[in-house]
Amino acid sequence: MTLMTLTQDYRHRSLQLAWATLLAAFGVFCSLLASVGYGVWYYRTHSTIAQASTLLIRAPVEWVTWQRKGHTIFEQARDGQTLSMGDRVRIASSAGYGQVATMRLFDQSTIDMWARTDLLLEELQTTRWNTLEQTVVLRQFNGYVRYDLRNDQPYQQVTFRVRVGDAWIDLVPGGSYSIEITSSNRQVRMIGQEAERLTTTNAAVRSGVAVVRVGEQVVPIAAGEQVVIDPSGNLSPPVTAIWELVRDGDFRQYTEEEYNNTTIPDQPTLPRARTWTVFSGPEESGASGFFRLSHGCPPPQKDNNCSSDERQIAAWFIRGNRQTRSFATGIYQELGSHGGGVDISEYRSLVFSAWVRILYQSVELAGERGSECPIMIRFTTKEKTPTDPERERVICVYTSDDPTQEPERAPGVTYYRAERYEWYRLHIELRDPEWLPTTRYLWRIEIYANGHDYDSRVTEVSLLGSHHAPGRATRRVTIRSPVGVCKREERVW
């Protein structure tokens, strides 16, 4: 091989190496350029910006406090102040009834907070350069909160999520939802930890669709439905969003002796009822009346021709021996899980019902003052705030052999005439204008007989609250939820 041949071969290889190096460098340059371009695109596509919300206080400001992100101390809140990610709001347990404060988000969705609410704003952000995504995440620790979410959001993907303990609740935009956390009197203590109260969570949907996730459990909720998360984290199936506010309305939870033991407060070891308390008086009226339990066929059946499985229990008020002075015998229940009453501001429908029966009354009609009835039902309420005076609305059920006779009427009393011996069905919408259309707080229900001699019975006592006004129509809707397409019946507001 000549020197010229070697030189040409060396030049050829050098040229190949140069081109390979140039192509590799160009490839690296293109890769870097693509990476930078992708990084810029990804940043512009997914970069987020924190948004803010406004706190609107609808009650005395001393009831509302807030905690700044990264701080440990709660401060006095101000009406109209700005809240950011990481801020936390608390409403005092002594606050008034109804909405105490509202968090209005940047997209005009509103979050209404009641007494005892404890709410943390974990995430509130959107994509910075486009309308790709909006994310709202809140953590609710306590209380009752209503979430009214704006529809037709400008963002392609909207996530609105509430964390409650180990549960995640996804809310579809355009809907109205409520989440309530209640604490029981029971506490649990884990080794090395402080004692914690057991809580129950209730999630309800007025309109829209929600999805509840607890571990592997996933339950969608449609409009007009609710689910309950028990203290163990178990999810109930969806049921109609109606709340029974009266406990033990069929008088089956205790014996006659246990109900009557509530009249003996100085012997705390006696087994006694925790739902209804027996009362009577005044003492100077002479012979007392008696509270008993009556067993019989379910109303409206009057005879006893039914099986033992069908028989029901009624509260029985009885007084005899031709008494000449008025005397009351009855029971009362202080509503709410702890007997402190219930906030009824969210219930657009509030239906009280009961079956009542009068076997005997010695006083004619309702007495000289319109207040001596064999069956009387009294509701004790407050209109708006804890400082408002107590108000009473009373039902009188009487009987008369002459249907043309009218009883004397007392202020605040509504009269119903029942046929003697017949079961009579009371069914009253308390949100009607003549009853309690704007009342926010219901403390106590009393059921009693008042007069000289009487023999009357009451059973199936119920007070049903609903977020929906009575008589609303429904329509068939299709809503895309985080778990798929959901076709349900939805009430039309």
Residue 44: phi, psi to the nearest 5?
-70, -30
Residue 415: phi, psi to the nearest 5?
-110, 140
Per the rule left: phi > 0, alpha: psi between -120 and 50, beta: everything else, 316 is: beta
**CB–CB of 466/352 below 8 Å?**
no
From first to last of its 493 residues, the chain has per-residue pLDDT tens of 565 665 666 677 777 777 778 887 777 777 777 676 666 555 555 567 888 899 999 989 999 999 999 899 999 999 999 999 999 999 998 888 999 999 999 999 999 999 999 999 999 998 877 777 899 999 999 999 999 999 888 888 889 999 999 999 999 999 999 999 988 654 444 444 444 557 899 999 999 999 999 999 999 999 999 999 999 889 999 999 999 999 999 999 999 999 999 999 888 889 999 999 999 988 776 678 899 999 999 999 988 889 988 999 999 999 988 887 889 999 999 998 777 889 999 999 999 999 999 999 988 898 888 889 999 999 999 988 878 899 999 999 999 888 888 888 999 999 999 999 999 999 999 999 999 999 999 999 999 999 999 999 999 999 999 998 875 434 343 333 333 434 444 443 3
CA nearest 426: which of 466, 393, 397?
Answer: 397
**CB–CB of 238/203 below 8 Å?**
no
State the CB neighbour count (10 A cutoff) for residue 286. Answer: 13
- Torsion, Cα 270 276 282 285, to 10 degrees, reads -90
* Residue whose pair of structure tokens reads 């020197």 in the numeric block: 3
The number of residues making up the chain comes to 493
Helix (H) or strand (E) holding 30: helix 3-46
Pairing status of strand 88-91 against strand 64-67:
antiparallel
Q: What is the pLDDT of residue 474?
A: 40
Q: Which domains does the chain possess?
A: 48-241+472-491 (2.60.120.1440), 256-466 (2.60.120.260)
Distances (CA, A) of 76 to 25, 60, 66, 68, 81: 63, 11, 6, 11, 11
Q: How far apart are the first and last CA of the chain?
A: 99
**CB–CB of 297/307 below 8 Å?**
no
Distances (CA, A) of 83 to 49, 110, 111, 332, 339: 15, 13, 13, 44, 35
**CB–CB of 150/180 below 8 Å?**
no
3-state helix, strand, coil in the chain (%, to 5): 10, 45, 45
SS (H, E, C) 309-372: CCCEEEEEEEECCCCCCCEEEEEEEECCCCCCCEECCCCCEEEEEEEEEEEEECCCCCCCCCCC
Q: What DSSP string describes 444-468? A: EEEEEEEESSEEEEEEEEEEEEESS
Q: What is the pLDDT of residue 492?
A: 36
CA nearest 115: which of 160, 180, 47?
Answer: 180
**CB–CB of 451/326 below 8 Å?**
yes
Helix (H) or strand (E) holding 69: none
Tokens describing residue 370: 């319109």
Rounded CA-CA distance 209/43 in Å is: 32
The answer for residues whose C-beta is within 8 angstroms of residue 283's C-beta and 6 or more apart is none
CA atoms within 13 A on the CB side of 182: 14
Q: What DSSP string describes 112-180? A: EE-TT-EEEEEEEEEESSSSSEEEEEEEEEEEEEEEEPPSS-SSSEEEEEEEETTEEEEE-TT-EEEEE
pTM score of the predicted model: 0.81
Residue 478: phi, psi to the nearest 5?
-120, 120
Q: What is the pLDDT of residue 485?
A: 39
Largest CA distance in the chain: 147
Q: Is 474 helix (H, G, I), strand (E, B) or coil?
A: strand
CA nearest 467: which of 490, 433, 435, 444?
Answer: 490
